[in-house]
Amino acid sequence: MNRRINKHGYQIAESIYQLVEQEIIPDSGIGVDDFWRATANIFDEFMSRNNVLLAVRETLQTQIDQWHLNADNQPFSQQKYQEFLFDIGYLIPEKSDFQITTDNVDDEVALIAGPQLVVPLMNARFALNAANARWGSLYDALYGTDVIGEDDGTEKTARYNPKRGAKVQSYTKEFLDNSLALTKGSHADAIRYHIIKNELVITLNNGNEVGLQSPEQLVGLNGALENPASILCRNNGLHIEIQIDKNDIVGKTDPAGVKDIILESALTTIQDCEDSIAAVDADDKAAVYRNWLGLMKGDLTEGFEKNGKKHTRALNSDRIYFTPDNKKITLPGRSLQFIRNVGHLMTTDCILTAEDKEVPEGILDALITSLISLHDLNANSKFRNSKKGSIYIVKPKMHGPEEVKLTVDLFIRIEEYLKLLPNTIKIGIMDEERRTSANLKECIRVAKDRIAFINTGFLDRTGDEIHTSMQAGAVARKDLMKEEKWIAAYEDRNVRIGLQAGFIGKAQIGKGMWATPDEMSAMMEAKINHLKAGANCAWVPSPTAATLHALHYHEVNVADIQKELIKCYSSDQQTDDLTDLLTIPLLKNHSELSTGDIQNELDNNIQGLLGYVVRWIDQGIGCSKVPDINNVERMEDRATLRISSQHICNWLHHDLLTEQQVMDTLKRMARVVDQQNAQDINYTPMADNFESSIAFSAAVDLIFKGKQQPSGYTEPLLHKKRQQKKKQKPI
């Protein structure tokens, strides 16, 4: 049992208290008792308000359920449905147009489009890898993935395979031709790169000397002008470094001695306290906060062993270059770090009230992660994060403008207590709940002075769609959900509302995750559409994926796309028709589904659910590559679990499935998941004893208690079962 320290009417877990007192507070400029007094005041002010808003969610859900069950509302009328949603306050009228006024936003957010990583903050190694993914080797990214093919007899695993290496070089030369176009000829014909009269000159194999079509793309170099070791250029705001070394194993194979192309890749990273981690108690939260502290102070390290040798991973230093006239250039070596706090729902035992009740976890996250960020703002850090003196907090799972207002007011109060300038804490709004999507313009209006980010999230958004409309009927098959009307409306509307609210030059419009990190060729085909849709950042699952996705931002100038979209919006005089967005994704004809179709859908959902849950409960892994039913590795977090559990729950509720069928499938798929994890020495099989497996019981509860879970969220059940597991056996 964690010992507790009483402060101003609240009981603080010793692990959290000591972390704040001994590690966070020193050099922050804030007194220990001042912080705990502020913390108590904030909980006094915001706890009841938070609880009231959670009750509103439940009331609205009950009213929607009853409306669908009322025979007077059949057959379904979209007009009557929307009128009802306005009547109960689920929808609110949109007010006049406005422009956001966010200022002091870093260039990586306001001006430059690029990839964005999301990473579990609880894992220091992952957090460091993501922070260091600002720059990545294009050669490595191509050589080690399927982008250039892998079924042609070449081997990816060798240190260097000349045949595969040649394909990488060919692909890269084409990229350079498109991004750093020459006045004549191709980079494939280059035999020398050098600087003459402050301009990049490329000698071709026919003896001609050519330059860049846009000479201003040259930024700097390292080494001598006549024989540089690297050349730094820029395209669409992103840097490209051409590294040259004719003695390198790769450089020897290139006529110009090019050994690698380094791309500016993950401009921003969201360090996640929420869906991708399994932090269920005070000790877990202390570990999460300590990693954020290490990032903000610049001293986070993680030891690891490779090839029998011990190594230490740390944050990368800034990158140094020089202009042709020898002026120093310093570029960030790390991505700009956001932090995602938890939403309004969950509570935590980090702090208890005088009545032994847990406090809202999201409020505590905002307090402590902002306090930690003072080390960056006060220049106590080895490396600066925000050059503009801002803190970037992404807030997930808010339902409508009132909940956004709660977060904004909370940030205002924290700024006052931490002696920060107004609007220092920027907010990122995750547009992943149905009530937020339908009221997005008014959500943004509430946060217009500090908003720096909006983002769509297909999985959570679909989970909320299913739960909200649980009583309306059986929903479409999961793999066909993206073909439903509401999805296109949701994605398009997010961009339109953001652009019309003045996000250009001030804030990011983001798109969601690519979930299969080993299928990079498919990602390269599909994810460019996020840019063409007007998004200036999109989520990727790994540093390698960030480097590959960066190629899209060289191919597509997002700023130009957004300018054209703004013109279209103005000329079309678009009205905000919610019909498509609120079209419930129901099965069109139950009879078209065969018994086999239904069982296959159930198998797929349950295998994925079990594969994720067993790692979460037994090992505390909140995000990892989980093999699906076809053994394709998919990057899973709680959002995936939410849609799978709610989908099964919906079909069970509408009699497409039976309870016995679900239980039989759970047991059969448990054996499949056990086999998939057979090589993991830390894995505990579920099928050995279903009755004693806490992970298996968690999966059962997520399905059979799914209708009763608030908004269909998985966290309350997962946390309860993980806590049970931790008490059963030391982890």
Backbone dihedral angles phi then psi of residue 200, each to the nearest 5 degrees:
-75, 130
* Separation of alpha carbons 113 and 118, rounded Å: 16
Strands 537-540 and 116-120: parallel
Amino acid at 35: F
Q: Which of 412, 466, 405, 413 is nearest to 439 (CA)?
A: 405
**Residues 118 and 240: beta-carbon distance below 8 Å:** no
User: Alpha carbon of 673 to those of 172, 344, 611, 666: distances in Å?
Assistant: 40, 33, 6, 10
Q: How far is CA 683 from the centre of its chain?
A: 27
Q: Which of 158, 697, 642, 635 is nearest to 434 (CA)?
A: 642
Structure tokens at 168: 């990488």
**Which position has the token pair 């000698």?**
203
Using the Cα atoms of residue 725, residue 726, residue 730 and residue 731 in order, give the sign of their dihedral: positive
Structure tokens at 452: 């720096």
DSSP state of 478: G
* Separation of alpha carbons 616 and 484, rounded Å: 31
Q: Which residues are catalytic?
A: 340, 637
Please name the residues in contact with 525: beta carbons below 8 A apart, sequence gap of 6 or more: none
* Separation of alpha carbons 703 and 692, rounded Å: 18
Buried-exposed string 613-624: b where 16+ CB fall within 10 A, e elsewhere = bbbbbbbbbbbb
Backbone dihedral angles phi then psi of residue 624, each to the nearest 5 degrees:
-165, 170
Which contacts qualify for 2-6: CB closer than 8 Å, 24 or more apart?
2/281, 2/282, 2/283, 2/349, 4/352
C-alpha gyration radius of the chain: 26
Strands 336-340 and 268-272: parallel
Structure tokens at 714: 């998985």
Q: Which of 145, 147, 164 is nearest to 155 (CA)?
A: 164
Amino acid at 667: K
Bridge partners for 586 per DSSP: 475
Quote the strand ranges of 343-424, DSSP E: 347-352, 358-360, 391-395
* Separation of alpha carbons 266 and 690, rounded Å: 43
**Residues 547 and 138: beta-carbon distance below 8 Å:** yes
Q: Tell the burial category of 256 from Cβ atoms under 10 Å away from its Cβ (0-12, 13-18, 19+).
A: buried
Buried-exposed string 261-299: b where 16+ CB fall within 10 A, e elsewhere = bbbbbbbbbbbbbbbbbbbbbbbbbbbbbbbbbbbbbbe
**Degrees to nearest 5, angle at CA 186 with 181 and 192:** 100
Per the document, the length of the chain is 731
Please name the residues in contact with 547: beta carbons below 8 A apart, sequence gap of 6 or more: 133, 136, 137, 138, 140, 141, 263, 265
Please name the residues in contact with 573: beta carbons below 8 A apart, sequence gap of 6 or more: none
DSSP three-state, residue 144: coil
